[in-house]
Each structure stands twice: as structure tokens, then as C-alpha cells.
């Protein structure tokens, strides 16, 4: 017996087919692995711990969606631009990326 395709399954199939047509490899994991979910769960856990459950990015209780949006914007800016990261040699992500591209674009030196 043929089971009808649910809308979310159709979207997934159509998306996967479109990527293949364009020669693009998806960044998502394969069937039955959880790499992307694990990454997102880790980031969401950090967000809850560092932003939602503290007053670092917002003073006092959240009283509106605007309060949450403001705190979230501050946390995302800090997370992407200013946090020191141990696996990056205690550099910020921005500093590490700048150093990476500077090394790639370095002029060859005469020997």
C-alpha cells in the first residue's frame, strides 16, 4: 500500500533534488545521523545558559518579545565577534578569520 508523502517530506525531497540539480552538496547530515542536530542543540544550550538565564545581555526579567530580541541580538554579536575561543588560541572568531585570510594573501617573500 502506498503511503502519501507528508508536506515536510515533500519539501525535503524537493530541496534535496534542487541541490543535486545545482551540483551543491548539502551541509546536513545523512539519514540516521545527528551531526547537525547535535551542533544546534549545543548552540541552543549555550544561548539559554549565557543569554536567557543570566542578566549579562539584558537587565532584569524579560517583559516582552522585544526584550528577548534585544538580548538575543547582543548575544549573537558577542558570540560571533567578541568571545574568546580556546580552540582558536584564545582569539575571537573575527580575529581568527582575519589572521587566516591575511596568511592566505601574504605576498611571497624572496629567498
Q: What is the DSSP letter of 74?
A: H
7 within some domain = no
Residue 71's CB is within 10 A of a number of other CB atoms, namely 20
Q: Quick one: what percent of the chain has pLDDT higher than 70?
A: 79
What pTM value is reported for the model? 0.59
Please tell me the predicted confidence (pLDDT) of residue 79.
92
Let me know if residue 109 belongs to a domain: yes
Summarised one tens digit per residue, pLDDT across range 4-57 is 545 555 567 777 788 889 888 766 656 555 566 777 888 999 999 999 999 999
Task: Give the structural domain span for 100.
Answer: 33-111
Provide the pLDDT confidence category of residue 110 given band limits of 50, 70 and 90: confident
* Domain-embedded: residue 16: no
| Within-domain flag for 111 | yes
What is the per-residue pLDDT for 58?
92
Domain-embedded: residue 20: no
The total domain count for the chain is 1
pLDDT above 70: residue 74: yes
- Looking at per-residue pLDDT, the higher value among 37 and 75 belongs to 75
pLDDT at 14: 78
Q: Residue 104 and residue 96: Cα distance in Å, rounded?
A: 12
Amino acid at each position: 500500500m502506498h503511503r502519501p508523502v507528508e508536506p515536510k517530506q515533500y519539501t525535503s525531497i524537493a530541496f534535496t533534488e534542487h541541490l543535486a540539480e545545482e551540483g551543491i552538496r548539502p551541509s546536513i547530515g545523512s539519514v540516521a545521523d545527528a551531526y547537525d542536530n547535535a551542533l544546534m542543540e549545543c548552540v541552543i544550550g549555550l544561548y539559554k545558559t549565557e543569554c536567557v538565564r543570566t542578566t549579562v545581555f539584558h537587565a532584569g526579567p524579560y517583559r516582552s518579545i522585544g526584550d528577548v530580541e534585544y538580548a538575543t541580538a547582543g548575544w549573537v554579536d558577542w558570540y560571533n565577534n567578541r568571545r574568546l575561543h580556546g580552540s582558536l588560541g584564545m582569539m575571537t572568531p573575527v580575529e581568527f578569520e582575519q589572521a587566516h585570510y591575511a596568511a592566505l594573501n601574504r605576498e611571497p617573500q624572496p629567498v
